[in-house]
Amino acid sequence: MNPRHRFSSNLRDARRKSGLTQEQLGDRTDLHRTEISLLERGGREPRLGTIVKLAGALGVTPESLCVGMRWDVKGQKFKYRK
C-alpha cells in the first residue's frame, strides 16, 4: 500500500457516507468527475489544495482523508494502519 491508495480508500468512504456521486462531488469542488475517479482509484496523488477542497465539500477535515497514514522518521517510510 502507498499513500495514494490509503487516501483513495478514505476519500471513497467519505464520499459514500455523504451520499454524493462522483459527479456531485466534482461539481462541489470544481473538479471533473474523472479526476474524482482517478483519486478514488489511487491513480493520482492529490495536491494539498485538492485535499482541502474535497474535505470541505464532504464536510470532513483534511486530516480525516489522510487517516491511517504516518511517516516513520527512523525507517524513512510511510506506515499504515487499518
pLDDT digits (tens, 9 = 90+) for 4-28: 999 999 999 999 999 999 999 999 9
Question: What per-residue confidence (pLDDT) applies to 82?
Answer: 63
Per domain, the residue ranges of the chain are 3-80
**C-alpha–C-alpha distance, residues 28 and 6, integer Å:** 22
Domain 3-80 grouped into CATH 3.40.50.720: no
pLDDT in tens, 22-31: 999 999 999 9
- CA-to-CA distance for 34 and 7, rounded, in angstroms? 16
